[in-house]
Amino acid sequence: MTTRIKDFEPGDVRPGDTVVVFGAGDVAQLARHALEAIGVPVSFLCDPLLADDSAALHGTPVLPPAALEQLDPETTCVLDAWDHTRYARQPALLARFDRLFVVVSLLSRTEFGEAAPVLPAERPRRIAHYAALCEPLLTGAGRLRLRSLDVVVTEACTMRCVDCSNLMQYYAHPRHSDLDELHAALHRLLAAVDGVEEFRVLGGEPFANPRAGQVVRTLTGLADTARVVVYTNGTIVPRGDLLESLADPRMLVKITDYGDLSRRHDALCDTLTDHGVAWVSQKPVWTDSGRIGRVDRTSEELARTFRDCCVNDLLTLLNGRLYLCPFSANAMNLGAVPDAADDVIDLRRDWPTDELRARIEALYHRHRPLTACSFCRGRDHTTPMVEPAIQVRRPLPLTVVSGTR
């Protein structure tokens, strides 16, 4: 499949062709906007997560993959604009089409106005992520450049949300990350890969750790760092070294605005603006993905839960160990999920670089469900929505699995 994918140019579409944008997320919506801006109408979006063949997104029909079988492969032009690469690694979905493209160049040269989809501050990040993921598909090169890495600097949070998908509501005795351990793990990881497109600094609430600025400076000091993003809930205004560390031009502070619960939101925005720190504030949308408990599924259902998960490639570094997703990271860190050897890489260990690279690549490109998938309610378009940030007074009760860390 990788030998047939090309970077799209306007001349690749002929009069009368059916143009299908594969995907329905942010990148796909930007691609549709960019195509229509150059006079190329999009006939359909196709999204594997939307099973209803009557679905539409902003007036464009959304087809399930099975509907592709009805399209003529000679007159169909498929543009793969899937936000993640999980489906690009499954060639059977698109194998019958000879004209298969990605839209890297198109997105990079399109000037998106205010009316374009996706928040303006988010567009460059989405496009850069997509371009990084498409590179090996276009070149066939064996590079291992990670889309992103969540760097957890604390288990502590200033809020206790009952449905937190990062499971902060279960931490009865939260700790700040050991920075020496964190830095050593980072350097081992970076020696084994070809770079990281974006570092995401999280907690808990990362500003609760007064030494988080040291981590930020380490990340922005890396020569090939494209972007460092700090996620905060608007309850703490950073000061001193922590605030100064955020002024790097590659930094972005993402504020989740929980209304009255984000009690320092306006003061935080003013302080960041005064110090030249880039920031964006968004209201949250939550799915029912924040509880740990055994979920009975068939093997097919378990495979789908993993395949369709929106965070199944969100590598997370927590307390010196590397995980494939934040749920797996925190559930295993809490001892609530069995500690499966092939679900985690212990970066506290001094691995031979070649062996570590092979292990990271196997984890990052994994197709099998994680152990944690059997304890997770799922995180895809079918997962029910819940009201964000409902607070509880005490940590939720936790069942610790025998034999875990």
Q: What's the number of CA atoms in the CB half-sphere (13 Å) around residue 76?
A: 22
> Residues 253, 278: contact at Cβ < 8 Å?
yes
Q: Where are the domains of the chain?
A: 6-139, 149-386
Are 5 and 80 spatial neighbours (Cβ–Cβ below 8 Å)? yes
Q: Which CATH class is domain 6-139?
A: alpha beta
Q: State residue 404's pLDDT score.
A: 45
**pTM (2 d.p.):** 0.83
Write out pLDDT tens, residues 224-246: 777 899 999 999 999 999 999 99
**What is the predicted pLDDT for the residue at 284?**
94
The residue ranges of the chain whose pLDDT is under 50 are 1-3, 53, 89, 402-405
Q: In what order do the strands lie in the sheet with 18-22?
A: 6-7, 100-102, 76-80, 18-22, 44-46, 60-63, 56-57
Contacts of residue 169, defined as CB under 8 A and 6 or more positions apart, other chains included, come to 160, 161, 162, 163, 290, 392, 395, 396
Note the CATH number of domain 149-386.
3.20.20
Q: What is the DSSP letter of 393?
A: S
**The pLDDT value given to residue 394:** 95
What would the pLDDT profile of 155-212 be if each residue is shown by its tens digit?
999 999 999 999 999 999 999 999 999 999 999 999 999 989 899 999 999 999 999 9
Name the residue among 293, 302, 253 with its Cα closest to residue 276: 253
Per-residue pLDDT at 302: 95
Residue 23 CB contacts under 8 Å (≥ 6 apart), including other chains = 31, 45, 46, 47, 80, 81, 82, 83, 87
pLDDT of residue 2: 41
8 A C-beta contact, residue 396 and residue 161: no
Tokens of 180: 């020496």
From the list 86, 110, 75, 95, the residue with the least C-alpha distance to 4 is 95
At 161 the three-state DSSP class reads strand
Q: Which backbone phi and psi does 372 adopt, to 5 degrees? A: -65, -20
Q: Do domains 6-139 and 149-386 have the same CATH topology?
A: no
